[in-house]
Chains A and B, each alone.
Chain A
């Protein structure tokens, strides 16, 4: 909450003054079975419908329902909403904690002076013990730095849903909706979209639907009518000043799915075949695409990661767009097949929804540590283009671009997202689907002079000749092939030539992608902050603040990670210092140093949580001060 804006405005009902804020960060936290992700998503939708800009950060454990009341079972959803939002917020202004464990895990991160709303009904000796509290934080000074709103949400919910005759357990499941109702009241938001959503979700169990709506309404009514402690008020949060048009919220997963379809359409292909094996956090892409069969999508849940990519390659070989999606451990399993797609020069889109590694790592926590794997993670010299999305909505364009590069250059393309982008939501001005520039594929059909590895002299691209085409039957495979005939060849000169061709073909893609733009700031200055992927928001926000404070700092964010845009070297050389924030131990920074021989320095964080704006600010300040 921006304290500068604490002027009060009269509430519409004139009952209670509402404070005006530029933006607010709210975090909902509870047991993984408490429905915190749903609560957060609905709050997000209502905030977006009310005209706010939004960014969200779902944060949930790998365990589906860890033992109730434990700290490792806490699931949280953070939303930052208001006038102009680019991150999910450094610190929550409001924490809603539905049990002691949720408080325990999250209380250190709340802004000093922020509001903590707790369900006092859950603060029993047993739950406090499970959460690891030695005393009762409601009675000691644990929460002294914050405003505390103690409510017996459990009892209030039971009262609200009593007429519906639910079991105690079922009734308590409505706590999240009661809480949501209260929060919607607190920020002056509507709740109709949530009521509609509940009605749809529980269409087959009307009693449950009615009970949830009743809880939602009761939470709202509680805020409106019950006397709150004098320091707890309602808020009016600034609306977003955005371009007119039709908006919706979108997650990175949805935007990726739709972008893949839009790209396949732009390529003029009949089918897209997704071969996937379930893995966190990539699985939701399979879930989304499995519902889109009407759009010409075939989804194949394979027996393993390897079969998933092999089926996708087989589909591309036969003239569809093959797509596979996974996360780091699964991408590792796909490496051999990916090499075959490089060797046989077939189109393929590989989506890597990165998570914290190595090995199984932290499946539900985001990281950007698969960049080396994407660029280099195969045997032999096996180049392929790698591109990365910066925001949930950006996934749409990047997915289209992945398809374009794959079919235009007959190459596998790695699209990097991460667990944060996949699950986070933001408002999206709906693009016109017809604005996608078509890049129609033309399958080779002319038998005259056909050779499977003949090449376009400029792009070095080989023809896509699919089985079923008369007079073009040919054989391809993973053995090195003659540059002319495509037949198996162990000839030394030929292998040199083919290796060079494969490298050059991918390198030349740099000629066909836009020059690197500077997202914020001047083309020269003291510090250039270079990012890629989901660090976009915090870097952008930090650089904006630094520039407002008069510092010569700029922001460049890479979509094309391999090969780099052709002017990137020039851009880098315009700055005294180059800082590269990454959620890894230093991967892009190594590429920049080795490619351009520049003294780029890493700012690295691998906590499983996104960068805070403050992290970037302090790194840049330290650099600026080192010059002083």
Chain B
């Protein structure tokens, strides 16, 4: 977080580095990079007070392409490095870039803990349901049956659902967006940044080489209006090209159903209103998938709690912490039971 006095007008190009971007032509990462640079400009934290930290994978090359401080670390561990950065300097704006393999397979443990600790980070998970950099093996988010070099007969594993994992881990901010839906991507990133604590953003990203069209079932322009639901706090859960489709609780069951306003006696008042603080609703929304349901996009859940580094600072203050360079080491050494030899 930055003092607003240090902010100046910034443009997306202020966040472009001098490096050639080396993703495959047509990769969804280009769109995400563009959206992030736009969001950063609008957020206004100077590049030198911003840090991007990544693990390993296609997405993890991201820090090389933004003009901020950047640290391309090791596979799955970016949340731990980012935690260390915040412990050393809580004043920095720290973003974690990860993928479905990096963040939910090899780094699943760190994802769980960084979320429950609520370290003040923006964690962007690029979910393309495939391992790209190692040439196309199935990932923990791949759908059952995914054929890949390592699953020639199809994957026999059930996938993890990132938003549900985040909810289960105790994340206080969970949002979803799509690589190609720029205005929405930018606004979600800005909301994530505005949340103090761990903000988990899943971006549905298309791997044009190894898993093209993995999300087409709800991102394709032809189906998108009926297959996507944009969440807005305090607004009814309506979607569809005529905005007449809505969600309500199925009578006598803890599950959602899709209804059409104006038919079977359904009025707009019958439609559920989105409440970002409702964990139960967030879990129901996270699990919605086509064809029966639309995919919920936007902020599924936001219920802020004090961040981890705020707690660290509170304890340091309670202990009367001074910078180590000013510490009284003599007092430390002589603090126990001593005796004097004449």
* Residues of A in contact with B (beta carbons under 8 Å apart): 45, 48-49, 51, 193, 240, 242-249, 258, 261-262, 264-265, 267-273, 275, 292-298, 300, 302-304, 306-308, 310-322, 336-337, 340, 344, 430-434, 436, 466-479, 487-488
Contacts and interface: CB of A to CB of B under 8 A. Distances in A.
Contacts of A319: 88-89
A393 B63 CA distance: 44
Contact of B334 (A248, A304, A472, A477): A248
B88 A273 contact: yes
A467 B92 contact: yes
Contact of B77 (A193, A337, A431): A337
B332 interface: yes
A467 B89 CA distance: 9
A275 B80 CA distance: 10
Contacts of B329: 258, 261-262, 265, 295, 433, 436
B338 interface: yes
A337 B74 CA distance: 7
A112 B19 CA distance: 76
A450 to B, nearest CB: 12
A340 to B, nearest CB: 5
Contacts of A240: 341
Contacts of B87: 271, 273, 298, 300, 311, 314-315, 320
A477 B84 contact: no
B80 A488 contact: no
A298 B316 CA distance: 8
Main secondary structure of the interface of A (DSSP, over half): mixed
Interface residues of B, number: 61
A307 B325 contact: no
Given A311-B80, A317-B81, A318-B89, A303 B110 contact: yes
Given A265-B325, A294-B322, A469-B48, A247 B91 contact: no
Contacts of B48: 467-473
B324 interface: yes
Main secondary structure of the interface of B (DSSP, over half): mixed
A49 B336 CA distance: 12
A261 B325 CA distance: 9
Given A49-B337, A307-B110, A468 B49 contact: yes
22 contacts: A51-B339, A246-B340, A248-B336, A265-B329, A268-B325, A270-B324, A271-B87, A275-B84, A292-B332, A300-B83, A303-B112, A307-B79, A307-B110, A308-B80, A310-B110, A315-B84, A315-B87, A322-B84, A340-B73, A468-B89, A475-B71, A478-B72
B49 A295 contact: no
A475 B81 contact: no
B339 A307 contact: no
Contacts of A322: 84, 88
A508 to B, nearest CB: 26
A247 B340 contact: yes
A554 to B, nearest CB: 30
A487 to B, nearest CB: 7
B65 to A, nearest CB: 9
Given A247-B340, A295-B332, A473-B69, A314 B92 contact: no
B194 interface: no
B254 interface: no
Given A261-B329, A298-B312, A430-B334, A311 B70 contact: no
